[in-house]
Amino acid sequence: MAYDNSARTAAARATRARVLSAARVSFLEHGFAGTTIRLVAEEAEVSQETIYKTFGGKAGLLKAVYDTALVADDEEVPLAQRPEALAVFNATGPVEAVTAYAKLAQVISERVDPLLRVFLGSSDTDATLASFARTISEERRMGSAIWVRHWHAAGWLREDLEVEKAADILWALNSNEPRWLLQDQGWTPDEFTAWLADTFRHALLR
């Protein structure tokens, strides 16, 4: 008779979810420096050893919280296979493509911006946060290249743009700074998304 470990797997996932939830709250309330493994363990009602074994320490916990926020859950489904990303892949024309991408960017920003505004403000003075900032920036640049290559294959990319240069432009335009600057000036999410789509269209596509 085969061993059924579904209950054990479900318990492990529930424990992981409690830890991630407790860590997110602590990071938002206390920042990275003020959050300790001990504090998170107490809030999640687990041992510190469990957190270290699962996440490897506070830096790993930070990345796991960010990755979970990015897709809004802890399921093992890549962002590229999510409905909001598939809308970009399934676009039938350049205007539809950049509109879908701008909406995807807005959805993601709403998920991760609360964390990033806390973390990135201290990245100049904290080596762990500086490493985290570099990692997520590199991941975003790789993601930008995926979209640009897709648009290039579809024949939508401007003829005078090399693929890697276009990926750099997409990565720069979709960085945190333009979004935060305009949000702080009172722009609504819809206004920013429309501007971003229009900017992508004129900067990158035919």
What are the tens digits of pLDDT across the range 125-146?
788 999 999 999 999 999 999 9
Please state the domain extents for the chain: 6-71, 79-204
Whether 193 and 106 have beta carbons less than 8 Å apart is answered as: yes
Residue that is written with structure tokens 């596509």 in the block: 205
Residue that is written with structure tokens 């830890």 in the block: 19
Q: CATH assignment of 79-204?
A: 1.10.357
Which residues neighbour 33 within 8 Å (Cβ) at sequence distance 6 or greater? 122, 126
So what's the pLDDT on residue 74? 84
For 35-156, where are the alpha helices, taking DSSP H only? 37-44, 48-55, 58-71, 83-89, 94-119, 127-153
Cα gap 154→70, rounded to integer Å: 27
So what's the pLDDT on residue 124? 67
Q: What is the dihedral of CA 96, 74, 112, 121, to 10 degrees?
A: -150
Q: Can you give the pTM of this predicted structure?
A: 0.90
The closest of 114, 117, 85, 90 to 101, measured between CA atoms, is: 85
So what's the pLDDT on residue 4? 59
Query: In the CATH scheme, what architecture does the domain 6-71 have?
Result: Orthogonal Bundle (1.10)
So what's the pLDDT on residue 9? 82
Cα gap 61→80, rounded to integer Å: 23
Whether 194 and 100 have beta carbons less than 8 Å apart is answered as: no
DSSP tag of 1: -
Average pLDDT over the chain reads 93
So what's the pLDDT on residue 2? 52
So what's the pLDDT on residue 3? 55
Averaged pLDDT for residues 155-174: 97
- Report whether pLDDT(1) > 60: no
pLDDT digits (tens, 9 = 90+) for 35-93: 999 999 999 999 999 999 999 999 999 999 999 999 998 888 888 899 999 999 999 99
Cα gap 46→34, rounded to integer Å: 19
DSSP tag of 79: G
Whether 77 and 71 have beta carbons less than 8 Å apart is answered as: yes
Burial of 194 (0-12, 13-18, 19+ CB in 10 A): middle
